[in-house]
A and B are shown apart, each in its own frame.
Chain A
Amino acid sequence: MSDYTIIGKRMPRVDSRAKVMGKAKFTADLKLPGMLVGKIKRSPYAHARILNIDTSKAEALPGVKSVVTGKDTEGVKWGVFAYTRDQEFIQTQKVRYIGDEVAGVAAVDEETALKALDLIEVDYEELPPVFDPMEAMASQTELIHEEFPNNVNVHVNIDTGNVDENFEKAYYIREDTYVAPEESYFQAEPYAIVARFDHEDCLEVWCPNGGPHMKSKPLSNAFKIPLHKVKIKKITIGGAFGGRSEICPVDYICALLAKKTNKPVKIEFTREENTIATRQGHAMITTHKTGVDKDGKVLARETTCYMDGGAYSSTGPIATSVPFLSMEQVYRMESVRYNGYRIYTNKPIRGMIRTHGRGFACGLDTQLDMIADHLGIDPVEMRLRNCRKPGEYTSTKSYVDSCAMDETIHKAVEKSGWKEKWGKLPPFHGIGIGTNSVQTGFPMGIRGGSQSFIKFNEDGEATVMSGVVDNGQGNDNMLVQIAAEELGLLPEDIHLVSADTETTSSDPGSYSQVSTFVGGHAVQIAARNCKKKLFGVAAKVLKVKPDTLAAKNRLIFVKNDPEKSIPIKKVVRISLLNFTSVNAEGGYWPKVDMTREWVKNPYGQMCEAFSFGTTIVEVKVDPDTGQVEVLEVTAAQDVGYGLNPLVLEGQFEGALTMGGQGGMLTEYHEWKDGRCLNPTMLDYKLPLACDMPKINNIIVESIDPKGPYGAKEAGMSIAMSAAQGYSAAVSNAIGVYMDSFPLTPDKILTAIKKKKQQSEKK
């Protein structure tokens, strides 16, 4: 492994300099000639019937170029799956949450556009709203979507059989319920989009996205234009976290306004819109009933999860499944029954978020700690007895190849000093462990694979084309690193063309954690194909066989006789002069079970690789204020192979911030009648750099046999184990197992008081 030149090295990202110098251009920075400002009129009611929309006054306002309503959409509806198309791009009948789109305006400037919004008169008939998923299921009032009885949007049922029998055999059984509220992404960049129709009637779009090809197809469908006429362009992106993968109404509205006005239109979201009118993470109420044998081995588990899905389906079936999948991947269970219900409420739409399974997985680990406590088993030992091993199948029949779960536990335990600390820390000082596993991809049908194209220029430098998008996690750098390694060039010799639907081939997007595994893989294969062509020409010049050659530092040389070499540039020129192509392509399609479906058939090979990890957290709780001071966090993650430790560490730390420090301690929404009371960064308590604890990053490498260089998912998963580790540490510090997340000081204080009262009674 060590003979890589560029791969595996701590290489500063190719995009860093432009970003820190302020040169990188984001969508909001774009200015096109004649560009108009677009704004969205949103529902101020959580649930209401639209009686009439009068846009005449707005249209008459000087400077207003177009006003669009649901009438202009021809009833097009959006949903990730054919069976979940429940969201009109602009509502015509009803509004279902505060923020639902009812009209769009394009005007010469922002002031005029905002004035026009005020002039649009919408008559509503208010309907009784429902904000709580359990109430929504029992609600006798008008359904949020009439086709969905009891407001149940999705029901996922998974049953491996033998659950009841195994509960009979169990030595100890317990049932606990855990609650976690919704959460928001707070990408550094609020959502923005620029759309225009060019002189060939092609729709050009710039926007932060989780995969350009995932945006282009729905737009092509909605506007009934061929796919090649939808050009999603590359632009710097300030974060996605799953929240920008789907097309959303504003994409359609912006393009529609551009079409109507024949001018470029830009819509920039306010921070509030970014919070309430994109996506949020689901709120969850989860009950686990777990039966174990005397040694703590899980024999049977029954899990029921009620998820607050908000007003529309979004990625409903996936969201309702992923929490279960994370659980079944990380721990072995002899038998399991899962019922996940996604319920409509009159709240903002919930979709993908990196920690899809925060509340869920978190409760699972807490319960495991409770069981371990009862049986007198150390939490680490409890994990070692139940955690996933390589060569096994998950409960839903996915084969797990590479898996260094054990190693991540051992390394995190050693680094954190667990053995010296567990059970030996002073009062209100605690340590806790959390684990994670995330799938590297899932069956995505026609868009499951990625293809790359590489062309050499006559100066010996190369242009690499890939559909992979960089949301900020470092994908661009990953592609360049792989191409440079394989082609024997330096990173600066590679020009990357990516995330552009006009020039790059179909790709799953930065979605389901496959950018490296699938997209990077495709580049690796394309580069190897390209290199083969160069070696063919070089071999003739050097009078050796092609398979004796290697490429490094812009040279092709004989492996056993490195002095015998020729510059790549020269090989390229000789090739071109001899009518030989120096371009190549490559593609990668993961071998997954394409019949696997979220609701109808949740069994079969999910993906080719899974990542695994452990996070250990040490905290001190102030018993007087309930505030938590995080002393140290250790994250060990089996990433397959660390392509760039520098980037990985950034991902680890970001995940700990989002899933642990923020997700478990300070971040939560407050509501009043469906209105979000803290949609801004001031009031939604995202941790700041100065709030973060000391972090130990440990990269564990299991060299996945399928992944490029052995790499697999690496960045997202730690948010999950972080959440679990944080909650376990706080629970350990105060001696109470917490069942309501996040762990805000008031809850911690209440738990401490309650425990004190109970012990005083005794």
Chain B
Amino acid sequence: MRLPRFDYLEPANLEETLDLLSTHRDDVKILAGGTDLLVRMKKGLLKPKKLISLKALDELSYIKEENGVIKIGSRTSLSDIIHSNLIQKKAEALFQACEKIGAVTIQHCRGTIGGNILQDNRCHHYNQSEFHRSGRQACHKDGGKICYARDEADRCNSTCQSDGATALMAIGANLTLAQKGGERTVDLDNFYTTDGIMPFAMESHELLKEIAIPIQGAKSAYKRLAYRSAIDYPIVCAGVLLKPSDTDKNKIADARIVVGAMGRAPLFLAKASSSLKGKNLTDKDAFKNAADISMNSAAPFAVHNVGATLEYRCDMVFEMVFQALEQAAIAVKK
């Protein structure tokens, strides 16, 4: 399969990049590692007139700690994140998630954290060749009015399979979106629309510049399930954060449970999360209860569209959440 024609732009710095974005808006797409974008372009799912490459923007490649916050430049390679001591020690879930993305070669040569967060939602009825999509009506995401994954659905049910986003939402990350003449910060919790066609609440002239993770004296963990040990998207995944109480180290002061690959966005499960407040870190029943609530809360969002049976994926929400909670609890106790 070949790439459709496009103009290739390679701005020298952030300012030039934002200028170009502001000029071309919907006509352009950002090319970071290309592992998601180029595949979609080859399938004819996307035909941007221009691509803006971030190749020269080394200024967006960094990992640093400032005033109790971990800051990661959006173009930082997955490999850099995996090899960062800071991330390994203080953003465990992100480290564990990045390790699972693609394969070592993809992490090293191509994939960026920004690209992983902004990878488009997927659906096995949509991520197909033009030939595959011919001879039947177009689906919502493809410009039509039908959903092949859920009968009678009035909107797109494509699934967010980003490992990075699920982990980052669990550890309370926020994103800095830059545009010409300004920037804004948005919590990852509030970054998603409820439509799979354009899952991100982001304008076409905005650029994801930085990911910030507050260091909150908590421990996190990430678990995912796939059929293969590499080069495979998760069919269900979970990121959790456990913050012990300042007064009693064995008590959970706050928890965050996020389930991924089950809906249009990573799902922050408030009820399941709050069920753990005040519970003991060794309380397996509490973890099981939280995992159970997670499963019940996440299941209605999922459709059969990313391989494996739907029933299995729903069942596995419990497992992934439970395993992640156990792992995070062990980390807290250490």
Contacts and interface: CB of A to CB of B under 8 A. Distances in A.
B307 A749 contact: no
B228 A672 contact: no
A252 interface: no
Contacts of B103: 688
A44 B135 contact: yes
Interface in A512-540: none
B163 to A, nearest CB: 15
Contacts of A627: 225
Nearest to B42: A270
Interface string B106-138: 000000000000000000110011011011100
B225 A687 contact: no
A270 B1 CA distance: 6
B136 A44 contact: yes
Nearest to A117: B131
B148 A745 contact: no
Interface in A418-457: none
Contact of B124 (A43, A110, A678, A745): A678
Contact of B2 (A42, A43, A111, A745): A111
A666 B226 CA distance: 10
A165 interface: no
B124 A670 contact: yes
B229 interface: yes
A749 B315 CA distance: 10
Contacts of B129: 270, 272
Given A44-B136, A672-B125, A687 B307 contact: no
B315 to A, nearest CB: 7
B1 A685 contact: no
Contacts, number: 70
Contacts of A688: 103, 228-231
Contacts of B225: 625, 627
Contacts of A673: 136
Contact of A687 (B228, B315, B316): B228
The majority secondary structure among interface residues of chain B is: loop
Contacts of B311: 746
B309 interface: yes
Nearest to A622: B319
B181 to A, nearest CB: 39
A290 to B, nearest CB: 31
Interface residues of B, number: 29
A744 interface: yes
A687 B227 CA distance: 9
Contacts of A675: 128, 132, 136
B228 A44 contact: no
B229 A678 contact: no
B15 interface: no
B308 interface: yes
A1 interface: no
Nearest to B225: A625
Contacts of A577: none
Contact of B131 (A42, A678, A691): A42
B228 A685 contact: yes
Contacts of B227: 666, 685, 744-745
B275 to A, nearest CB: 21
A45 B135 CA distance: 6
A45 B131 CA distance: 11
Interface string B223-247: 0010111111000000000000000
Nearest to B313: A746
A142 interface: no
A682 B134 CA distance: 21
Contacts of A114: 2
A625 B124 contact: no
A673 B137 CA distance: 13
B312 A690 contact: no
Contact of A625 (B131, B148, B231, B319): B319
Contacts of A745: 227, 308, 312
6 contacts: A272-B132, A627-B225, A678-B307, A685-B232, A688-B230, A744-B308
Interface of A: 42-45, 98, 110-111, 114, 270-272, 624-627, 666, 670, 672-673, 675-679, 682-683, 685, 687-688, 690-691, 744-746, 749
Instruction: Please name the 5 residue pairs, one residue from A and one from B, whose CB atoms are nearest each other, closest first.
Output: A44-B135, A746-B312, A44-B134, A685-B227, A677-B124
Interface of B: 1-2, 5, 103, 124-125, 128-129, 131-132, 134-136, 148, 225, 227-232, 307-309, 311-312, 315-316, 319
